[in-house]
Amino acid sequence: MTGTNDLGVFGLAVMGANLARNAARNGYKVAVFNRNTARTKALIEEHGHEGALEGAESIERFVASLVKPRAIILMVKAGKPVDEVMAELAPHLDQGDILIDAGNSLFNDTERRSREMAGKGLRFVGMGVSGGEEGALNGPSIMPGGDAEAFGRIEPFVMKMAAKVDGEPCCAHIGPGGAGHYVKMVHNGIEYADMQLIAETYDLLKSVYGMEAWAIADVFAGWQKGPLNSYLIDITIEVLRKIDDATGKALVDVILDEAEQKGTGRWTAQSALELGVPITAITEAVFARGLSGRREQRQAASGLYEDVKTATRAPDEAALADLQAALYASKIVAYAQGFEQLAGASKAYDWNLDLGTLAKIWRGGCIIRAGFLDRIREVYRDARSEHLLLTDYFAKEIARSVPGWRRVVALAVETGTPVPAFGSCLAYFDGIRRARGPANLLQGQRDYFGAHTYRRLDRDGSFHTRWGQDGSEISA
């Protein structure tokens, strides 16, 4: 039996409900289903008038109401629930039907699910969606991965539902298997780093310069006119300006300083470690959230160790310019690292990712949207290198920012203000810009205790020194 609905959405919490509304508002006939039927009823009651939304109370009716080959978006909690929902749906599906997992699934799970579905003659698309609640409704950045034929079937509606920048949809077929979810994962990792860098800037303005939240908001607002312009700074300004009704204080001053996380930042760091790509900014951002969560330890330690004694002072223009430079340069490093990870994963998994296209589809709809991504897209159009720090444009941008960046990190160290992301970005930059680093000594040490061998600058081959014997060198 075939139905008439163009698309199904399974899972109607905030993201699923808004994606369904987005599709309906774009003229599609959408069947909606949720395990707990109260959500289905609420969606139809509150938003049924926005377009052709049809609520189903059983999986059978939901599936039967869809046009064939069926396309069903799953927007349920990531992890086991996705497998459970797929197992529930599979017996009701026909060959060629497509399940689209639009949640934040781990890319290896997506690879596995693609294989399992293919074994049943069903098709699977692992689709990253970014933009939060508002993006899902008004146009997110959409990163579908999976077989190209399945993408062809869903392309018209995902292109319509996606955000648009300069008339171009923020959506593209990313690559096979788990490529879409991988790219979404690294997007989130970059988001962690970007947020951490903004938080460190806030901390310096607050702790070193003694500024109030509203005044810090004004500083960020001034920067919105320059290359830092972004959605994340935009919402930072709003958060800093919000007054708490209960206390009359800035809301940010009464929010508990413990950051939570759902896993995508950690997964990004884990994958980078496996691939051997140094993404220091993202990893430090994940660790910083971890340390924030150890509030009891922090409180105990704050009584144990004396604070660094420095008088707070108002920042002059030069100090603010330094902070702006530090934030900008560190942001370039964080994005450069994220894109290098994507390039590394693309090679390792044979995904043939188009980095310029990724920058393009992140310009709108998603959490890291920013004019800055336009520059990255342009750079990748004619770049000789995949590494942003090795491109002419960003090399010039970094060079202009370096003096201020160093002063900011020095100030943080002097005043005992932790800046793990600023500091690690600068250390990474200093590491990459040196043709010869200190790893020669590491190789010597490794050869000493483990006979791991070393290579020489002046001759080809591998060598070992008989450290504990006669000290002679042999070819290994």
Positions marked catalytic: 184, 191
Q: Which is nearer to ligand NDP, 34 or 341 (CB)?
A: 34
Tell me if 282 sits within 8 A of 421, measured CB to CB.
no
The minimum distance between CB 230 and ligand NDP, in angstroms, equals: 18
Phi-psi region of 389 (alpha: psi -120 to 50; beta: other; left: phi over 0): alpha
The minimum distance between CB 21 and ligand NDP, in angstroms, equals: 13
Q: Which is nearer to ligand NDP, 39 or 377 (CB)?
A: 39
CA distance readout (Å), 322 to 138, 208, 265, 407: 37, 14, 28, 7
Helix (H, G, I), strand (E, B) or coil at 316: coil
Q: Which is nearer to ligand NDP, 103 or 169 (CB)?
A: 103
Q: Which is nearer to ligand NDP, 186 or 379 (CB)?
A: 186
The minimum distance between CB 17 and ligand NDP, in angstroms, equals: 8
CA 37 – CA 12 distance, rounded (Å): 9
Strands, E assignment, 96-181:
98-101, 123-130, 141-146, 164-165, 168-169
CA torsion sign, 99 to 156 to 191 to 146?
Answer: positive
Point out the residue whose Cβ comes nearest to ligand NDP: 103
Q: Which is nearer to ligand NDP, 13 or 291 (CB)?
A: 13
Instruction: Give the closest residue to 228 by CA, choosing from 319, 324, 323.
Output: 324
CA atoms within 13 A on the CB side of 430: 12
The minimum distance between CB 89 and ligand NDP, in angstroms, equals: 10
Q: Which residues bind ligand NDP (CB under 6 A)?
A: 11-16, 34-36, 39, 75-78, 81, 84-85, 103-104, 129-130, 132-133
Tell me if 329 sits within 8 A of 398, measured CB to CB.
yes
CA 361 to chain CA centroid, nearest Å: 13
CA 59 – CA 108 distance, rounded (Å): 27
Q: What are phi and psi of 143, to 5 degrees?
A: -125, 80
Q: How big is the CA angle at 438 (ends 433 and 443), to the nearest 5 degrees?
A: 130
Q: Across the strands, what pairs with 230?
A: 370
The minimum distance between CB 51 and ligand NDP, in angstroms, equals: 19
Q: Which is nearer to ligand NDP, 105 or 341 (CB)?
A: 105
Q: What is the DSSP string of 78-95?
A: SSHHHHHHHHHHGGG--T
The minimum distance between CB 354 and ligand NDP, in angstroms, equals: 22
